Structure 1
Amino acid sequence: MRLLAAAACLLALSLAWAAELPHLSILAPTPELAAHVRQVVEQSAPRLRAWTGAAPARIRVEVAADHAAFAQRAQALGAPLWAAGLALPQQDLILLRSPRQLGGPEQFAPVLQHELMHLYLAAGLRGRRAPLWLEEGLALLLSGEGGWTRAEAMTRAVLSDKLLPLAELERTFPAEPFQAAVAYAQSYYLVSWLLKNHGEESLRSIVASLAQDRPLTAALHRATGRGLAALQDAFFADMRSRFSWLAVLTGGGFLWALVSLVAMVGLVLRRRGQRARLRGSSPREEEPLARPRRREARDRLRVLGEAGMQPGLEAPPEGPGEEPRQK
């Protein structure tokens, strides 16, 4: 009887967990890739729901087999052809390049997670808009895209006293490469700071307040006890303390030398890997793309107008430390 009761409990728990997952349909070139997509979605779903307080009823993921297939589908959707992927919340749709086009399997999951965040956030907002720093910060944190790039940008911003006001990061990010890098770093660290100091409930509260059409400063005050100005002061003070201390500890120049060395080694290894793949492929095979740069707000605006973006802008200039996109 005890075994039957335990089995019944496990079955009930598994059914409850499955019920929390959106209905998922996947179109991929191979069964193995489809299984990988499902695994990423199932692993990401609990955290996405915890952060946004909602989930889309269904998710459709399409993985293009090659560049031509992606270009054809993206063109039909009105998306930029060079994008790594895109999400259309009103259609519950995510369109992705294959891992080979992205430069390797390790690049695929972060792109998928980034697009999943847009669908979950749109479900939580119910047609309202979130500040761009919240959207990008959540996506960066979910996909694990922090590391040296964000730390370097934040340290440079702190040391040069060039942190960007949060009010300027609500609808778009700067076009200038250094400022754009700072905008992404601030977004990443601000969401991390909210989670550390106020917990997941603060994110759910902010999203719920925005969904009720409350002003951002009111949503922040409800979730953290601080309005936008006071929250910015507290966040900036923490960043100045944290990253100024980091710069002093590492001797300033040593930090930049180490960051430059890491970036240089990574660049050399990526290029060697690409050359090796090209030597091993037939002339008819498609050349793998360098990892596409994360789309800045204005680049997906035409496609994701429903998520609060502005249309009609061109692809951004290359950011610092990033390889040019292959055309």
Structure 2
Amino acid sequence: MSALTFALASGRALSAQTPNAPGVRLDAGRFTVVAEARDARLARTLLTSAQANDSFPGLPRPTSHVLIAVAPNAARFRQWVGPHAPEWGAAIAIPDEQRLVMQGGRAGSDAGDPVVVLRHELAHLALHERMGRLPPRWFDEGYASVAAGEWTRDEAFETSLTMVWRTLPSLDRLEEGFFAGASEATWSYAMAYRVVSELQALDPVNGLANFFSYWKSTGSMEKGIRQAYGMTGEQFEKHWKTRTRSRYGALSLVTNVSAVFGLFGLILLPLYVSKRRRDRRKLEAMRAQDLAQEQAARASALQALLDAGVEPALEPGSDLDDAVGRAAGPTGVSGVS
């Protein structure tokens, strides 16, 4: 077992560094960051960010010591997290241990901004420190997204055609989406973000602070909403759905209709251009054919007149004018009697 792995398994910082298992340990305030040497720069960035922004909406300032483990690769990340890590996760918080594991510098582009990811996971730990196991999964994820300022969650509503026709779930059923695969989980994260955002906006002065206090003291989210915001849970549910649909429903429709027309345009434009080119070639071929037929008809008529010994009446400027002019004498009269 390497020194870094030992630190993760025991929950303690690195006790030593060895040539076979190089690692770094950084300590500041209530945070300890452990990582392999190649992720040392990332570890310093994470530690600085965690210290600089260590308060969370509606919660008292956290005091628990937090261990942040930076996994060197995806395989090690899954190993440290265990068999229950979602396949789309870039990081995971373990609230009971006040520990989080996140991917390091070799993470894929879908892992997101590591500073934002760290903030999201630290919000989970802060919420757990204050509220324990009271928050359901949907609230936990929605709160972490709000605390991390993940505005891109709104994009799921702005660009999703499902906003036009899909029934928004009840808060009780919102929980199920986090266990139904990556696509459904993305939608559930976005909805959870909207719910917590709307809850926070109900009190522009205190935000979520009073709600958390009432929820903690009563042990009931329903009672916390009633006492903090003066509405029932059912009334709040109707409120957030109405606000969300009015804000994003039409936008989603316009966005997707525009996308559909754009897609059809990309498909049909080459066909239209190709058809125009074919039509133009056909028209040019028809014109050339008509001209050839006209010239052949004129030549045939002239030959018929010459064969009959009849001098045709020519119009000035015609092709036969030149021929007759060349056959005439100096006085313009044919030399044939």
* TM tier, smaller: 0.5 to 0.7
| 1:212-256 Cα shifts (integer Å, max 9, x gaps) | 3432111111221112100011111212221234246x3750156
Q: Number of aligned pairs? A: 233
Would you say the 8 A contact 1:63–1:96 is kept in 2?
A: yes
Read off the aligned partner of 2:46 and give its amino acid letter: V
Counterpart pick for 1:128 among 124, 133, 146:
133
Report the secondary structure of 1:151's partner residue: helix
1:159 aligns with 2:168: no
1:35 aligns with 2:47: no
Distance in 1 separating the partners of 2:115 and 2:188? 23
Q: In 2 relative to 1, CA 196–80 (structure 1 residues): closer, same or farther, beyond 3 Å? A: closer
Would you say the 8 A contact 1:164–1:183 is kept in 2?
A: no
The structure having more radius of gyration, on CA atoms, is: 2
Q: In 2 relative to 1, CA 168–79 (structure 1 residues): closer, same or farther, beyond 3 Å? A: closer
Instruction: Indicate the residue corresponding to 1:224 in structure 2.
Output: 229
1:117 aligns with 2:130: no
TM (norm. structure 2) is 0.59
How much does 1:194 deviate? 2.4
Gaps (5+ residues) in structure 1? 1-20, 260-327
Matches for 1:136-155 after TM superposition, within 5 Å: 136-147=141-152, 149-152=155-158
Counterpart pick for 1:254 among 252, 258, 271:
258
Would you say the 8 A contact 1:174–1:183 is kept in 2?
A: no
| 1:66-94 Cα shifts (integer Å, max 9, x gaps) | 3454344334xx65385422211221111
Read off the aligned partner of 1:123 and give its amino acid letter: E
Read off the aligned partner of 2:42 and give its amino acid letter: L
Read off the aligned partner of 2:97 and give its amino acid letter: Q
Read off the aligned partner of 2:138 and give its amino acid letter: W
How much does 1:183 deviate? 2.4
How much does 1:176 deviate? 6.6
Gaps (5+ residues) in structure 2? 1-27, 264-337
Aligned alpha-carbon RMSD (Å): 3.3
- Which protein, 1 or 2, shows the higher relative CO under an 8 Å CA cutoff with sep ≥ 6? 1
Distance in 1 separating the partners of 2:205 and 2:68? 27
Would you say the 8 A contact 1:132–1:171 is kept in 2?
A: no
Would you say the 8 A contact 1:132–1:169 is kept in 2?
A: no
Read off the aligned partner of 2:212 and give its amino acid letter: V
Q: In 2 relative to 1, CA 90–131 (structure 1 residues): closer, same or farther, beyond 3 Å? A: closer
TM (norm. structure 1) is 0.60
Would you say the 8 A contact 1:247–1:255 is kept in 2?
A: no
Distance in 2 separating the partners of 1:44 and 1:152? 29
1:26 aligns with 2:30: no
Identity %: 22
Q: In 2 relative to 1, CA 28–177 (structure 1 residues): closer, same or farther, beyond 3 Å? A: closer
Would you say the 8 A contact 2:91–2:121 is kept in 1?
A: yes
Read off the aligned partner of 2:209 and give its amino acid letter: R
Report the secondary structure of 1:187's partner residue: helix
Q: In 2 relative to 1, CA 128–205 (structure 1 residues): closer, same or farther, beyond 3 Å? A: farther
Instruction: Indicate the residue corresponding to 2:71 in structure 1.
Output: 64
Read off the aligned partner of 1:231 and give its amino acid letter: F
Distance in 2 separating the partners of 1:139 and 1:241? 24
Q: In 2 relative to 1, CA 181–62 (structure 1 residues): closer, same or farther, beyond 3 Å? A: closer
Instruction: Indicate the residue corresponding to 2:103 in structure 1.
Output: 97
Read off the aligned partner of 1:150 and give its amino acid letter: A
How much does 1:115 deviate? 1.4
Report the secondary structure of 2:167's partner residue: coil
Report the secondary structure of 1:55's partner residue: coil
Distance in 1 separating the partners of 2:182 and 2:73? 30
Q: In 2 relative to 1, CA 136–100 (structure 1 residues): closer, same or farther, beyond 3 Å? A: same
Q: In 2 relative to 1, CA 72–165 (structure 1 residues): closer, same or farther, beyond 3 Å? A: closer
Counterpart pick for 2:193 among 188, 202, 210:
188
| Mean CA deviation greater in 202-211 or 100-109 | 100-109
